[in-house]
A and B are shown apart, each in its own frame.
Chain A
Amino acid sequence: EDKVVQSPLSLVVHEGDTVTLNCSYEVTNFRSLLWYKQEKKAPTFLFMLTSSGIEKKSGRLSSILDKKELFSILNITATQTGDSAVYLCAVAPGTYKYIFGTGTRLKVLA
């Protein structure tokens, strides 16, 4: 059975801290992995990863994929209160759909 697991489930940090969110997967035929940020309604797209070892970066956020160990991490440096959200990871298992992980709920305190 295809599976996507995120850890930790929730996390509370203070502004300025750096956080690392994890996404591990077991799927039959990996095609791609997506990271999203969900605040109140629609998830907003952060990164799409298909190749191992290539870091994608956008401002204070970065992500990398390890296809050998079957995981990805999302790093957020110098966190701000506006980073508080649920971060979702999704994997395409080669059956033309995406399976979402459990999500990590991040709260950044001022």
Chain B
Amino acid sequence: GAVVSQHPSRVICKSGTSVKIECRSLDFQATTMFWYRQFPKKSLMLMATSNEGSKATYEQGVEKDKFLINHASLTLSTLTVTSAHPEDSSFYICSASSSGGIYNSPLHFGNGTRLTVT
């Protein structure tokens, strides 16, 4: 149980275009999902907290107009990287907690999306 699916696993796009990444909870409902970014050989940096039916909460230093988050249902959150630039190239990974909230059950991660902007 508690499977999180992330798509696509890998994407290459041209500078200036937008890319959408989907994160789905397959066998549970996720009121809250989290989006992380990971640089090579570095840890996970929290970008934003995605809340179903409301606006996302962004961490300090993360541009909300550049990284658009939509959490339209209890099983789907999307991250859109708008007007992508080469410095946006990174590994993006989503996570969600199953029943009881994050203090009572662990985060389960998607397999991540490696974005390369040329």
A residues whose Cβ falls under 8 Å from a Cβ of B: 31-32, 34, 36, 41-45, 48, 50, 88, 90, 92, 96-103, 105
Contact = CB atoms under 8 A, between A and B. Distances in A.
8 contacts: A41-B93, A45-B107, A48-B106, A90-B44, A97-B49, A100-B36, A100-B44, A102-B42
B19 interface: no
Interface stretch (B68-76, B77-85, B109-117): B109-117
Interface residues of B, number: 23
A99 B44 CA distance: 8
A88 B103 contact: no
A32 B46 contact: no
Given A48-B106, A96-B102, A42 B111 contact: yes
Interface of B: 4, 32, 34, 36, 41-46, 49, 93, 101-103, 105-112
Given A98-B46, A101-B43, A34 B111 contact: no
A91 B107 CA distance: 11
A42 B36 CA distance: 11
A41 B112 contact: yes
A64 to B, nearest CB: 17
A97 B58 CA distance: 11
